[in-house]
Structure 1
Amino acid sequence: MMSNHKNILIILFTLLSFSFAKERYITREGVISFFSSTPLEDIKAINKQVSCVLDKGTGEFAFQLPIKGFTFKNALMQEHFNESYLESDIYPKSVFKGKIIDWNAIQLSENPTEVIIEGELTIHGIKQKIKEPGKIWLSSKSIIGESNFNVELVDYNVKVPKVVRSNIAEVINVNVSVQLNPR
């Protein structure tokens, strides 16, 4: 008799766990761009191969992007970026894993809501904790997310040769934009 009760409880908990399955929103077409501004030169690159997943129940999310996915206005800049600075053959991707602070207090609507994003950003094989502002809102059935923040090259051990040091900013502005759809 006790065994039957145990089996019923196991089945009940299993069924309940399926009903509380995670509601995930994803994209494989997010966009991350960066901008470096110096008196000698402005450099901009864009990557439209950004994957992102958001757990709508917890506010946890992750980004991943191939470093070689960044495109520049000329091929030589792109080559130097991949071979000399980010060493994309050795460090082929950048990853962010984190969460939106106070997710449960956020009421998603069509109006952008200011949020704080916290987690670990990995660039050039180096993990750093970050805490940055962002915005999130609903658009039809999608969740839109944006963030704009700065990255210091020294924090990720990105070395710039002396010859071009005055052409590349020490602090790079990063812009993130994703349209996440239900999975």
Structure 2
Amino acid sequence: MKEIYIIIINLLLLNCVSAQGKFLTKDGYVSFFSHSVVEDIKADNNQVLSIVDSETGEIAIQLLMRSFMFKKALMQEHFNENYVESYKYPKATFSGKIMRFDELEELEGETQIVGTLTVHGRDKEISARVNVEINKNEIILIGDFYVEVADFDIKIPAIVANNIAKTIKVNFELRHKPYKM
């Protein structure tokens, strides 16, 4: 009987150790902005999932394309049906590393996140400027980067080509809390 208690305690401790160093958010924020001569387009997504490994600085982000909200319903419909084809490509993901992460512990600072962004079934290596705030209860990442629509094979019909910028600005704010299993 004593051996069973020891096994159970060891399993519980192993579970706790495997979650150590992981920080998670399920309500991160990502927005994008397209400025053109004809019109500005902005969309917000407050349902972004992100996890950071505080021991390695590795980060993974995932969001549903349909979770982007636009001011105009027609823009949202066109975005999902015609451009990103969210029925075929429902998610966007990022997998990468926060550079100099070990130097930022318990501090604030600016650094880069580098990794692979996957949108519309296409991968692109990107680098994003990010402000990092780290303490034992939270890892906050706030930054932005630019993407080229053509890099993700998103087709813009000629009739609306002047309405959508070829380069899109992406902003993000991710407030990670310690992950508890």
Provide the TM-score with structure 1 as the length reference: 0.86
Give the drift of 1:169. 0.2
Q: Is the 8 A contact 1:108 1:136 kept in 2?
A: no
Matched residue, 2:38 = 40
Q: Report the equivalent of 2:91.
A: 93
Deviations 1:94-147 (A, max 9, x none): 0000001122222332xx310111110000000111122111103682211111
1:180 matched residue in structure 2: 176
Please state if 1:65 is matched with 2:67. no
Q: What does residue 29 of structure 1 align with?
A: 27
- AA at the equivalent of 1:61: I
Where 1:175 maps in the other structure, the secondary structure is strand
1:164 aligned partner = 160
Tell me, in whole angstroms, the C-alpha distance in 2 between the residues paired with 1:138 and 1:160: 40
Q: Matched residue of 1:167: which SS?
A: coil
* Alpha-carbon distance in structure 2 between the residues aligned to 1:75 and 1:20: 46
The alignment status of 1:126 with 2:122, answered yes or no, reads: yes
Residue 150 in structure 1 maps to residue 146 in structure 2: yes
Equivalent-residue separation in structure 1 for 2:43 and 2:135 (angstroms):
27
Asked if 2 retains the 8 angstrom alpha-carbon contact of 1:97 and 1:120, the reply is yes
Amino acid paired to 1:41: E
Deviations 1:130-168 (A, max 9, x none): 122111103682211111110100111011001100000
Q: How many pairs does the alignment contain?
A: 168
2: CA distance, partners of 1:106 / 1:138: 7
Structure 2: state its 5+ residue gaps.
1-9
Counterpart CA distance in 2 for 1:106 and 1:122 is: 27
Output aligned runs, 1:131-142, within 5 Å. 131-138=127-134, 141-142=137-138
Give SS of 1:35's match: strand
Give unmatched runs, 5+ long, in structure 1: 1-13
Q: Which amino acid aligns with 1:155?
A: D
Whole-angstrom distance in 2 between the partners of 1:138 and 1:103: 9
Q: Give the % identical residues.
A: 41
Q: CA RMSD in A?
A: 2.0
Looking at structure 2, the residues matched to 140 and 23 of structure 1 have their Cα atoms a distance apart, in angstroms, of: 10
| Maintained 8 Å contact 2:128/2:145 | yes
SS in 1 for 2:162: helix
Q: Measured at CA, do residues 138 and 106 of structure 1 come closer, stay the same or move farther in structure 2, by a change above 3 Å?
A: closer
